[in-house]
Amino acid sequence: MKIKLVHPLWTHLPSVVALIILVIYILTTGPLPAEAPVHFGFSGEPNRYGSPWEVFGITIGLSVIFILVSILFDELWARQEKAKSFNWLSLMDDIFVPFMAGVGLGYLSFLKSGDDSFSFPWAYALPMVGGAVALAIILDTLRPYRPYSAPLTIEDSPTLKAEIAKSLKENASFVYWDYQNPFYVSLITVVLPLVMFLVAAITSFSQIWVGVVMLVVGITLIIPYGGQRTLVTRNQVAIRWGILGIRVLRLKITDITGMTVHEFQPLKDFGGYGIRINREMTAYYLRGNRGIKITKTKGKAVLIGSDHPEALLAVLQGITGLE
């Protein structure tokens, strides 16, 4: 599958460079001691010993996660941009990663010096963060504005309606199938768990509970793999989610009182993606800004996100006979 990023990847350069600097320093420093202080009290006295790789594993692992998450956030942000404006979100990884890298550098020089107590390495962290943020601000101002509109396909709605009518008349069984499975879902459900399992494996030697937490979170993250599927049959509308096909919505056709194509703003109206609830309705969507709003005989309205809302509307109208 081909996806085109609206937010250019080079805006993440400062954090990637900071991470590369750390890795180069670790590799050129020579053999690390097998055991070193890895945890310190408030006044800098060591209170736990272990392999220094534990520290670097956590630092690098978290940094990679942060960069990936911020690529995702920036892309979501850029796709909803109506005019070019400064993206403060893009500074997120450019602050965190250089900070972690700076602390890593400070820790490295502490290991080399052989001192007894560790003072927090502001002298490394602050210049790294400062430099990276300055570069990131320049990069985001240089970032081109690319208007994004979700690809629209015009469906042959009258044909669909006619086919539904024919199936209903001839008592044939039918299913209309619609899905949303954007690339970022695969990213979150495959890459993030892998990184987490890696971190779990690295840390489990010394800190079991960190490993366990990472393992559990990693496994939970796999569940949405596969995205959202909407299945419309003669009797019901069902939405299934994720790798297990968990049914998150089941709506009887007889309970439907009306439906329209609804346009919405994911961040403003619902504060994100997924299964979302606001005062008016419960929404199920993974991408885009269009869907079908269904009102029911009882309870809140339901919003089903779709890449082809006209087709879904035609099918629902055909089945319910409502306009």
Partner 1 sequence: MLLTINEKDSRPIYLQIISQVKEQVSSGVLKPGDELPSVRDLADSLGINMHTVRSAYLKLRDQGIINLRLGRKARIAPWQKTANLTIVRDSISERLRELIIDALLSGMSADSFRELVNQQLKEINEEVNR
Which of 50, 139, 155, 207: binder of partner 1 (CB under 8 A)? 155
Using the rule CB under 8 A, which residue among 233, 282, 289, 295 binds partner 1? 233
Contact (Cβ atoms closer than 8 angstroms) between residue 250 and residue 257 = no
Site string for partner 1, 239-268 (x = CB under 8 A): -x----x-----------------------
Spatial distance between the Cα atoms of 71 and 76, rounded to a whole number of angstroms: 9
| CB of 104 closer than 8 Å to CB of 62 | no
CA distances from 304 to 152, 175, 222, 232 (A): 16, 16, 22, 12
| Contacts (Cβ under 8 Å, ≥6 apart) of 249 | 237, 238, 239, 284, 302, 304
In this chain, which of 105, 214, 315, 316 binds partner 1, going by CB under 8 A?
315
167 touches partner 1 (CB under 8 A):
yes
Closer to partner 1 by CB, 43 or 173: give it: 173
**Of residues 170-229, those binding partner 1 (CB under 8 A):** 170-179, 181, 226, 229
- N- to C-terminal Cα separation, the chain: 36
Candidates 36, 60, 64, 164; binder of partner 1 (CB under 8 A) is 164
Q: How far is the CB of 305 from partner 1 (least distance, A)?
A: 16
> Are 313 and 237 contacting, i.e. CB atoms less than 8 angstroms apart?
no
Nearer to partner 1, 137 or 253 (CB): 253
Dihedral class, residue 215 (left if φ above 0, else alpha if ψ from -120 to 50, else beta): alpha
C-beta of 173: minimal distance to partner 1 in Å?
Answer: 5
Which range, of 11-19, 38-46, 81-89, 159-167, touches partner 1 by CB under 8 A? 159-167
Q: Write the CB contacts of 54 (distance below 8 Å, at least 6 apart in sequence).
A: 38, 202, 203, 205, 206, 207
**Minimum separation from the CB atom of position 187 to partner 1 (A):** 16
CA 242 to chain centre: 15
Q: Which is nearer to partner 1, 245 or 271 (CB)?
A: 245
Asked if 300 and 141 touch (Cβ cutoff 8 Å), the reply is no
Q: For residue 287, state whether it binds partner 1 (rule: CB under 8 A).
A: no
Q: Which is nearer to partner 1, 116 or 170 (CB)?
A: 170
Helix, strand or coil, per DSSP, at residue 249: strand
Q: Which residues contact 318 (CB under 8 A, 6 or more apart)?
A: 160, 161, 163, 164, 165, 168
Shortest Å distance, C-beta 290 to partner 1:
18
Nearer to partner 1, 37 or 226 (CB): 226
User: Residues touching partner 1: how many (CB under 8 A)?
Assistant: 26
- Chain contacts with partner 1 (rule: CB under 8 A): 1, 155-156, 160, 163-164, 167, 170-179, 181, 226, 229, 231, 233, 238, 240, 245, 315
